[in-house]
Amino acid sequence: MPSRRTPSPAERRVVITGMGMVTPYGLGTAAYWDGISNGVSATRALTSFEPRPEIPCHVVADVPDFHPEDFISHRDLTRVPRVVPMTIAAAREALVSSGLLTADEVASGPERGQTHPWSVVIGSAGGGIEFAEIQYLRWFEGRILDTSPYAVSSSIVGMLSSELSIAFALHGRSHTISDGCTSSSDALAYAADTIRLGRADVVLSGGADACITPGILAGYCLMKAVPTHFNDRPWAASRPFTADREGFVFGEGAWIFVLEALDHAEARGATILAELVGSGSTCDAFHRVSLRGDGGESARAMTLAMDEAGVAADEIDYVNLHGTSTPLNDIVETNAVKLALGEEKAYQTPLSATKSLIGHPQGASGAAGLAATLLSMRHSFIHPTINLDNPDPACDLDYVPLVGRPAEIRTALCNCVGFGSKNTALVVRSLAD
């Protein structure tokens, strides 16, 4: 057994004690696990706005039947973007599942004068960009008086952490990380470091994005990043590692976790889901939207995460892949896993792509993958990579195709890549005997 890195006396171990989510399957963790474990596609036909000639992709992975008024005041319905009530809903479930707050406390909101010292570190690529598009369209159409006075303040990415801090009276740090698709992975790593360095006992962290708009989807169509030949088969559009993959399905959602110092969690008798033991982050420094073909820097991010965790490659039981379903990225990620784990171990290790099921939730991707990984650890079952019915010969690892399988997972690696050729990886480990 390889030796593990020994934390310095000033560092504390970081554990995950709660999680909550709003996903393309609907509200809650149970719905998410039911969908991904059974291989049910959550990609569907676009209905939130009328398709236009400049938007040939008609497939998305949006959140169905979401009612913002259940989570924010009626007054705020026109003052904040859709991502805010989604994130609050996910945070409510996370806080209740952690035991830090009761269901009544999160539903009623903090009493006057009640505060908590906990911090917030959230990842989001778009933040309030959906709200901005609506407001700016009114400006450009000359409807100035119809524009919200919150057009600027509610559109900036950084407002998301503030909305959570306000909603739950959290007076610790309130930061938003915006690094494109790696935003939530980077936020989780930053949150963990905040606890390790003794700057917080509890951090609400994770990721959220909800920016399925005509402008953004049209932009992805111009980039040829999204599929256009599966409009009549939306369930088949997200197909990582297949020979006929075209691009990612634009998605949305919120996945929030309670991160906590181990000593703090043990002192209050919390249930521990897993320990976040390592993270690694690199940049290819190569291109605005493309990865370097050899996968070397992505592999280095995974290696850095394993090194920080004190985990050897042969201890990795499962890898949750970024798996966008884009022609280049899937090959690069396959090569990166081989470099990080070594070819023999890479071929022996089960991997799966959560995006095959839920599409690509942008900056929330890493958090969505972490949630899938924690649930796989809890249930001793790996969810499948669906639609993998025509494998690409260049993608030749065990992606758990089509049907999930039982597996004991003690240590897992979660990989994430993003625009600007960024790479971030997390390592989590079960504390169960």
Distance (Å, whole) CA 256 – CA 65: 20
User: Going by C-beta distance under 8 Å and a sequence separation of 6 or more, which residues neighbour residue 300?
Assistant: 280, 282, 340, 423
Give the amino acid at 378.
Answer: R
Q: How far is CA 159 from CA 20, 47, 62, 426, in A?
A: 20, 28, 22, 25
pLDDT (tens digit per residue) in 156-168: 999 999 999 999 9
Catalytic (active site) residue 322: yes
Number of other residues whose CB lies within 10 A of the CB of residue 345: 16
- Rounded (5°) CA angle 55-85-206: 85
148, with CB counted inside 10 A (0-12, 13-18, 19+), is middle
Catalytic (active site) residue 116: no
Catalytic (active site) residue 229: no
- Structure tokens belonging to residue 428: 């989590």
Query: What parts of the chain have a pLDDT lower than 50?
Result: 1-6, 9
Q: Which of 322, 383, 395, 416 is catalytic?
A: 322
Q: Which of 211, 360, 395, 416 is catalytic?
A: 360
Distance (Å, whole) CA 199 – CA 196: 8
- Structure tokens belonging to residue 44: 């569907």
Distance (Å, whole) CA 368 – CA 355: 9
pTM of the model: 0.95
The predicted pLDDT at position 3 comes to 41
Residue 246: closest CA among 236, 254, 255, 256: 236
Q: Which of 181, 221, 395, 416 is catalytic?
A: 181
Give the amino acid at 201.
Answer: D
The predicted pLDDT at position 342 comes to 97
What SS3 state is found at 346? helix
Place of tokens 């559009």: 237
The predicted pLDDT at position 334 comes to 97
- CA-only gyration radius of the chain, Å: 20
Element (H, E) at 206: strand 202-209
